[in-house]
Copies of this chain bind each other. A is one copy, B any other.
């Protein structure tokens, strides 16, 4: 049994917990939190500890799955914990991945640990599809679309506007853009061409809806470059209709193998729960992490380094007979 630890117990931590409980080759040994362990109600019977005690577990956990955020938690936690543990994270600030990799790699190699960073679905499964599709169809163009799904960052940005009590923002790919991409025309698409932003907003009492709507639509980076739609709803409607954290998206590549001979490759995800699915992907990469550590293939890795067979709990001969 692979002994798993979870560090951080928000939505993602709970997703990883559920996925671990489904994995027949894994034992969930400990959950670590910065909060007081006695205050934490976990879904399984897993013991909870404070993150201060992490080092004490260095010989008791085979893989530590890091469920903190990419903004401030992981840039510090992943390199630090790679001293003591094989680790998996879902670091998703695309522009910072190379820097993060370098930091983690040094500690992981020095301490003979394996760290797999930026797992999940984007970065993660979508990245894997981008590289795979480019490799097999080099003369072409790929496009990534996200949604329909909840963007936590954009929802938070709306909540910070004065007069807003609560909000939920959906990123939605434009049908027209999907259609033209799938046609094989390889168009150049602007940010506005690809996605629209749909916002469900609960106002505070006496807030001015026009001011709030204007503040959203003109917010730089987040909304100004998009077609943005704002719907004012009640707290009850938000609770009833917008509680879930669905997400998904598309990686599409079109291109030619010779003059006029066209091909289309497409990978799609439709997820009821972004954190549960991301957690499930992380658990598969935790299995690979353990196996690479057993083979002493130490250092920092990404989804690009992982042979598919390492992800699955099944004998190689059985894979040849039933899956290939």
- Do B284 and A135 have beta carbons less than 8 Å apart? yes
| In the complex, A261 has a CB within 8 A of chain B | yes
Instruction: Provide the bound-state CA to CA distance between A180 and B18, in Å.
Output: 27
Instruction: Provide the bound-state CA to CA distance between A134 and B319, in Å.
Output: 11
Mask: chain A, 204-221; 1 = CB below 8 Å from B; 0 = not: 000000000000000000
- Given that A265-B268, A303-B308 are contacting pairs, would A280 and B320 also be in contact in the complex, using a CB cutoff of 8 Å? no
Mask: chain A, 248-264; 1 = CB below 8 Å from B; 0 = not: 00000000011011111
- Do A266 and B264 have beta carbons less than 8 Å apart? no
- Do A131 and B15 have beta carbons less than 8 Å apart? no
- Do A304 and B279 have beta carbons less than 8 Å apart? no
- Do A123 and B324 have beta carbons less than 8 Å apart? yes
- Given that A304-B308, A316-B304 are contacting pairs, would A280 and B136 also be in contact in the complex, using a CB cutoff of 8 Å? yes
Mask: chain A, 266-280; 1 = CB below 8 Å from B; 0 = not: 111111110011011
Partner of A261, one of B138, B263, B272: B272
Instruction: Provide the bound-state CA to CA distance between A97 and B304, in Å.
Output: 26
Instruction: Provide the bound-state CA to CA distance between A312 and B131, in Å.
Output: 7
| In the complex, A323 has a CB within 8 A of chain B | yes
- Given that A265-B269, A324-B127 are contacting pairs, would A23 and B308 also be in contact in the complex, using a CB cutoff of 8 Å? no
Partner of A264, one of B257, B268, B317: B268
Instruction: Provide the bound-state CA to CA distance between A199 and B127, in Å.
Output: 40
- Do A323 and B261 have beta carbons less than 8 Å apart? no
| In the complex, A311 has a CB within 8 A of chain B | yes
| In the complex, A42 has a CB within 8 A of chain B | no
- Do A277 and B263 have beta carbons less than 8 Å apart? yes
- For A135, list chain B residues within 8 Å (CB): 284, 287, 308, 311-312
- Do A94 and B324 have beta carbons less than 8 Å apart? yes
A271 to B, closest residue via Cβ: B263
- Given that A135-B312, A307-B304, A324-B118 are contacting pairs, would A263 and B270 also be in contact in the complex, using a CB cutoff of 8 Å? yes
| In the complex, A139 has a CB within 8 A of chain B | yes
Partner of A309, one of B263, B277, B304, B312: B304
Instruction: Provide the bound-state CA to CA distance between A135 and B314, in Å.
Output: 9
Partner of A131, one of B125, B258, B309: B309
* Most chain B C-beta atoms within 10 Å of own C-beta, residue among A98, A127, A279, A304: A304
- For A98, list chain B residues within 8 Å (CB): 317, 320-321
| In the complex, A22 has a CB within 8 A of chain B | yes
A287 to B, closest residue via Cβ: B135
- For A15, list chain B residues within 8 Å (CB): 257
- For A262, list chain B residues within 8 Å (CB): 272
Instruction: Provide the bound-state CA to CA distance between A319 and B271, in Å.
Output: 26
How many whole Å from A123's CB to the nearest CB in chain B?
5
Partner of A280, one of B94, B125, B257: B257
What are 24 A-B interface contacts by the 8 Å CB criterion? A97-B324, A98-B321, A127-B324, A128-B132, A128-B308, A131-B309, A131-B323, A134-B312, A135-B284, A138-B313, A257-B277, A260-B272, A261-B272, A261-B276, A264-B268, A264-B271, A265-B267, A265-B269, A267-B267, A268-B268, A304-B308, A304-B319, A305-B309, A306-B307
